Structure 1
């Protein structure tokens, strides 16, 4: 009975805690991946917001269709117009459509007592994010007003300025947190592996005593750490994928903000990060334990 207890104690002393290492690394990589996905989603949301920065170009009354078409082509050719697939950069709204929408929104038919429609035909144009600064938006406004047949150009300057300020603040905060989080994750994984290898210190010493070189001793531990990094990253990526799938079902519009290519890059980055941090941490811990004296090992 006493021999069996001694055997169990020895086994426990030299046993490498695989499960705790995998769980710790998975949790750390999951948090890192979750924040990376948050950054990409925020970036997509920012892009959507920027794509909805618009100007209203009101036209002179009684313009013919060829004149309106000329203005439309002129606007579409400008460098500051947002361009891209599935994006309606220049949209025409007739004064009749504008009146119908106003009546629908307010419930009041202003044409009954005015006897006429005072609204004007207009083009709604989307502006490229390169021109969202207050100075450039003002330049765009002045440039459009020079086009023959344009009556007035209107945009919400305060909203554009607020969007730019908020995007800058969010970018700085996310960048700062991401750097801090990466450092914390690296320290967490490093300490986890360091503690795990503590149980292997006498095995390392035994290999040194029989004449094994440092490279020979390190090799199996490094290979094992690479495997742990890959397994942990795959589990973390699977959990993130499941969370995204669930979130897309529960939150309307979240699926549109997801970028599959960026998700694959993030998942691949998790595997690479897991391998690099685990390998580096194992190497440092091995160097420490191989340099210890027998008294220090105890």
Structure 2
């Protein structure tokens, strides 16, 4: 007579492959959104770093006055820094004329008889001083300096940048909240279905006097490990996708911040473990409270 053997169930075991795969897909989508947020933030920062203000000097300004203007500007907190270097540069009227002639192919000095351009400083503004109100104060302060003729910046561009950055920020935060809610619900339902096969084993443990903590522990440990594993796999998938994108899209690597990518990977790992733990905790509590009739 042929004997049939039934595989013995172990407390805390369940079809984990489907759970890990489900959590991996969810975390991968979150990771993609995280990458979009990081690259958007980096691109926004680069745009802000290049907001320039032109400071045109009087035509009769002396060399000593010009040097004094530069020293005064260098001491101001609204001057941007890049690699610990002040973002301030000087362009003489001769250099400006040469550049204009090279760009247009026309020598205006032939019919004007003189160079109408002015010596000028170009400064980049620190992000903390890029609001419309603060830029207006910066302009007013610089124009009050002796030897300064005019301060010019593209006000419409500054206004447009700040409006668009604010809108993009709200949109990204909204999508992030919605996405996180969907992911938590999806993972929660997946784990609940996976633990469905363990409901009678849980009841058997209750009947022999096992305490809730003893029953929960193996499930919670395994689900945390599986969530962390899904986070690692999702991070690896994002890394491969980034390498492929960098090989296909020119200059995309220049927007890459390795430190922030590491933080994103660590976040996915922790998020996977936390969501796995939380979803399992809720599901186990539910099965512990069900009556025998409800289990069927």
Over 3 Å counting, the alpha-carbon distance change for 1:98 and 1:88 in structure 2 is farther
Residue of structure 2 equivalent to 1:242 = 240
Residue of structure 1 equivalent to 2:108 = 110
CA distance in structure 2 between the partners assigned to 1:274 and 1:95 by the alignment = 60
Residue of structure 1 equivalent to 2:34 = 36
CA distance in structure 2 between the partners assigned to 1:3 and 1:68 by the alignment = 100
Q: Report if aligned partners of 2:192, 2:279 keep a CA contact under 8 Å in 1.
A: yes
CA distance in structure 2 between the partners assigned to 1:2 and 1:141 by the alignment = 93
CA distance in structure 2 between the partners assigned to 1:191 and 1:172 by the alignment = 29
CA distance in structure 2 between the partners assigned to 1:142 and 1:15 by the alignment = 71
- SS at structure 1 position matched to 2:81: coil
Over 3 Å counting, the alpha-carbon distance change for 1:99 and 1:211 in structure 2 is same
Residue of structure 1 equivalent to 2:214 = 216
Residue of structure 2 equivalent to 1:80 = 78
The answer for unaligned runs of 5 or more in structure 2 is none
Q: Is the counterpart of residue 122 in structure 1 residue 102 in structure 2?
A: no
Query: TM-score, structure 2 length as denominator?
Result: 0.92
Q: Report if aligned partners of 1:190, 1:281 keep a CA contact under 8 Å in 2.
A: yes
CA distance in structure 1 between the partners assigned to 2:267 and 2:157 by the alignment = 36
Residue of structure 2 equivalent to 1:101 = 99
Residue of structure 2 equivalent to 1:191 = 189
Query: TM-score, structure 1 length as denominator?
Result: 0.91
Q: Report if aligned partners of 1:95, 1:121 keep a CA contact under 8 Å in 2.
A: yes
Deviates more, 1:249-258 or 1:190-199: 249-258
> How well do the aligned residues superpose, as a CA RMSD in angstroms?
2.2
1:249-288 equivalent positions in 2, closer than 5 A = 249-288=247-286
What is the CA deviation profile of residues 87-111 of structure 1, one whole-angstrom value per residue up to 9, with x for unaligned ones? 5511111112212222222232222
State the Cα distance separating 1:133 from its structure 2 match. Answer: 2.1
What is the CA deviation profile of residues 151-180 of structure 1, one whole-angstrom value per residue up to 9, with x for unaligned ones? 111111111111111111111111111112
Q: Report if aligned partners of 1:51, 1:127 keep a CA contact under 8 Å in 2.
A: yes
The answer for unaligned runs of 5 or more in structure 1 is none
Q: Report if aligned partners of 1:33, 1:240 keep a CA contact under 8 Å in 2.
A: yes
What is the CA deviation profile of residues 167-202 of structure 1, one whole-angstrom value per residue up to 9, with x for unaligned ones? 111111111111121111111111111111012112
Q: Report if aligned partners of 1:15, 1:199 keep a CA contact under 8 Å in 2.
A: no
Q: Which of residues 41, 46, 49 is equivalent to 2:47?
A: 49
CA distance in structure 1 between the partners assigned to 2:52 and 2:84 by the alignment = 16
CA distance in structure 1 between the partners assigned to 2:202 and 2:145 by the alignment = 80
State the Cα distance separating 1:15 from its structure 2 match. Answer: 7.7
Q: Is the counterpart of residue 157 in structure 1 residue 155 in structure 2?
A: yes
Residue of structure 2 equivalent to 1:203 = 201
Deviates more, 1:288-297 or 1:119-128: 288-297
State the Cα distance separating 1:259 from its structure 2 match. Answer: 1.9
Q: Is the counterpart of residue 297 in structure 1 residue 295 in structure 2?
A: yes
CA distance in structure 2 between the partners assigned to 1:223 and 1:207 by the alignment = 18
Q: Report if aligned partners of 2:13, 2:219 keep a CA contact under 8 Å in 1.
A: no
